[in-house]
Amino acid sequence: MYFARAGADRRSRNIPNSIGKLFKLAGLHETFGKGDLVALKTHFGEPGNTTFIRPQFLDRIASDISKRGGKPFLTDSNTLYIGHRSNAVDHLIAATRHGFTFPVVNAPIVIADGLKGRDEIEVEVNLRHFKKVSIGAAAFHADSIIGVAHFKGHMMTGFGGAIKNIGMGFGSRRGKLDMHHDIKPEVDAESCKSCGTCVKSCPSGAIVIKRRATIDSDACIGCGECSLVCPNEAIDPGKGESKEVLQEKIVEYCCGVLRSKRKRSGFMNFIMDVTPHCDCPAWSDRAIVPDIGILASRDIVAIDQASADLVNAARGTEGTRLKGNLGSGEDKFRHLHKVDWGIQLSYAEEIGLGKRKYRLIEM
Ligand code: SF4
Ligand code: SF4
Distance CA 139, CA 39 (A): 7
The pLDDT tens digits of the residues spanning 231-282 come to: 998 998 877 678 899 999 999 999 999 999 999 999 999 999 999 999 998 9
Q: What would the DSSP string read from start to end of 219-284?
A: T-----HHHHH-TT--EES--TTHHHHHHHHHHHHHHHHHTT-TTSEEEEEEE-S--SS-S-SSS-
Q: What H or E segment, with its residue span, contains residue 200? A: helix 197-201
Tell whether 39 and 175 lie within a shared domain: yes
Minimum-distance ligand 2 atom for the alpha carbon of 235 = 2
Tell whether 79 and 126 lie within a shared domain: yes
> Which amino acid, residue 94?
A
Tell whether 172 and 53 lie within a shared domain: yes
186, 188, 190, 194: residue to mutate for ligand 1 pocket, most atoms within 8 A of CB:
194
Tell whether 150 and 285 lie within a shared domain: yes
Minimum-distance ligand 1 atom for the alpha carbon of 196 = 5
Tell whether 206 and 311 lie within a shared domain: no
- Find out whether the beta carbon of 202 lies less than 6 Å from any atom of ligand 2: yes
Please name the residue whose Cα sits nearest to atom 2 of ligand 1.
Answer: 230
Tell whether 266 and 169 lie within a shared domain: yes
Name which of 144, 160, 108, 106 is nearest 28 in CA terms. Answer: 144
Tell whether 29 and 130 lie within a shared domain: yes
State how many domains the chain has.
Answer: 2
Tell whether 210 and 302 lie within a shared domain: no
pLDDT of residue 184: 87
Q: What H or E segment, with its residue span, contains residue 322? A: none
Q: Which of 188-192, 232-236, 290-294 holds the top average pLDDT?
A: 290-294
Tell whether 147 and 210 lie within a shared domain: no
Across 151-164, average pLDDT: 96
Please name the residue whose Cα sits nearest to atom 6 of ligand 2.
Answer: 202
Tell whether 223 and 90 lie within a shared domain: no
Q: Give the domain CATH number at 95.
A: 3.40.50.11440
- Find out whether the beta carbon of 96 lies less than 6 Å from any atom of ligand 1: no
The pLDDT tens digits of the residues spanning 160-180 come to: 999 999 999 999 999 999 999
pLDDT band, very low/low/confident/very high, at 127 (cuts 50, 70, 90): very high
Across 15-21, average pLDDT: 97
Distance CA 75, CA 78 (A): 10
- Enclosing domain of residue 217: 186-236
- Find out whether the beta carbon of 363 lies less than 6 Å from any atom of ligand 1: no
Q: Which ligand minimizes its atom distance to the CA of 220?
A: 2
Across 82-110, average pLDDT: 94
Tell whether 129 and 220 lie within a shared domain: no
Tell whether 106 and 253 lie within a shared domain: yes
